[in-house]
A = this chain, B = another copy of it.
Amino acid sequence: VTRVHVWGASGYAAAELIRLLAAHPSVELGALESRSHAGERIGDAFALLRRLERSFDEPGSVVACAQSGDVVVTAGGTGEAAAIVPQLLADGVRVIDLSADYRFERRAAYGLTEWNREAIAGASLVANPGCYPTAASLALLPLAAIAAPAAIVVDAKSGITGAGRNPSVDALYAEVAGEIRAYGLGGHRHQPEIERNLRERGIAAPLVFTPHVVPLARGMLVDAYAIFDRPLDAGAVAAAFQEAYASSPFVVLLGGDRTPSVRAVAGTNEAELRVDVEGRTVRAICAIDNLGKGAAGQAVQNLNLMLGLCEERGLRDRAIVA
């Protein structure tokens, strides 16, 4: 049993992580540190964790408690992890960072599990991917084995928990209900992460990325379109996807009448993926839970690899049936 601590424990992804860790058979909960909620009962902050008899721990708790052999998941805001990660690593504590801070650092293993298992398993520091990059990369990377697209469009629809739990007008119920809007046009911070992931596998086509907020608490659907210079063979494309994910239990390839469903994956670590060829365009649609495979679920999947456990350990129970 490994002790896992959570630093920055009061956001939506952290709450989902605590839920998963509390039920994980090979893990025990360590410190659950929150600057903003220190001392508050976790169940008062999150109705879903009411049965968990714990309070948020004080600032400094994670550093004080974490020992060599433990794992810390850092879930603070942008730029905050540097305050704690170097010291933890020096102390022999392994770290999974949920923020964007280490996603472009070479000394961190990039935690897109299905495409980087070996590095993750041996890493001291794992940079957990963003939710959009997770879905977009799962949808597009198998194409690298086929041909180089000439252009890529990623049209993404996300639930509002992706914006975090710090209250802002844009995330209010009265603003999100009844609305769909594109945002971050031309400058979303996840775009370079997606582009890097693609380029590293040889997909260098220019990317147009359009994220939208839709009236959902959690869940994300990403439609990725790769436009080629010539028509592709549908069978070859399907085969490439099947080969890419043959050993990946959380990637579910759909065919026939089934299209990826946000409700089907909500509360799980699954990614539903469907690929179609229409002339010179390949459309790959990927549904994930932005708090599951897009954040906390993938963190636990990576944790399992780091601990030498089965990838699915603690991740088989559906968390949402809505």
Is A198 part of the contact surface with B, judged by Cβ < 8 Å?
no
Which residue of chain B has its CB nearest to the CB of A272? B50
Return the contact of A210 from the options B186, B223, B266 (Cβ within 8 A). Answer: B223
Is A134 part of the contact surface with B, judged by Cβ < 8 Å?
no
Structural contact, A178 and B259, CB atoms closer than 8 A? no
In the bound complex, CA of A218 to CA of B180 (Å) = 11
Is A199 part of the contact surface with B, judged by Cβ < 8 Å?
no
Asked if A167 meets B165 with Cβ closer than 8 Å, knowing A155-B155, A262-B179, the reply is no
Asked if A50 meets B173 with Cβ closer than 8 Å, knowing A155-B155, A279-B206, the reply is no
CB distance from A36 to the nearest CB of B (A): 10
Q: Which of A171, A174, A216, A319 has the most chain B CB within a 10 Å cutoff?
A: A174
Return the contact of A320 from the options B155, B157, B280, B321 (Cβ within 8 A). Answer: B321
Is A67 part of the contact surface with B, judged by Cβ < 8 Å?
no
- Please give the count of copies of this chain that the complex contains: 4
CB distance from A39 to the nearest CB of B (A): 15
Report B-chain residues with C-beta under 8 Å of the C-beta of A168: 167
Is A103 part of the contact surface with B, judged by Cβ < 8 Å?
no
Asked if A167 meets B172 with Cβ closer than 8 Å, knowing A47-B264, A212-B157, A322-B266, the reply is yes
Is A285 part of the contact surface with B, judged by Cβ < 8 Å?
yes
Which residue of chain B has its CB nearest to the CB of A180? B221
Asked if A185 meets B218 with Cβ closer than 8 Å, knowing A47-B264, A160-B173, the reply is no
Structural contact, B321 and A179, CB atoms closer than 8 A? no
Report B-chain residues with C-beta under 8 Å of the C-beta of A179: 47, 216, 219, 261-263
Structural contact, B181 and A161, CB atoms closer than 8 A? no
In the bound complex, CA of A162 to CA of B210 (Å) = 24
Structural contact, A19 and B321, CB atoms closer than 8 A? yes
Asked if A216 meets B217 with Cβ closer than 8 Å, knowing A47-B264, A173-B171, A206-B281, the reply is no
Which residue of chain B has its CB nearest to the CB of A177? B217
Is A215 part of the contact surface with B, judged by Cβ < 8 Å?
yes
- Chain A 294-322 interface 0/1 with B at a Cβ cutoff of 8 Å (1 = within): 00000000000000000000000111111
In the bound complex, CA of A205 to CA of B35 (Å) = 47
Asked if A216 meets B215 with Cβ closer than 8 Å, knowing A155-B155, A172-B171, A173-B160, the reply is yes
In the bound complex, CA of A214 to CA of B153 (Å) = 20
Structural contact, B280 and A206, CB atoms closer than 8 A? yes
Closest 8 CB pairs of A and B: A167-B167, A173-B176, A47-B264, A155-B155, A174-B217, A322-B322, A47-B261, A319-B321
Contacts A19-B321, A151-B280, A173-B176 aside, 4 further interface pairs with beta carbons under 8 A come to A44-B257, A178-B217, A218-B321, A225-B225
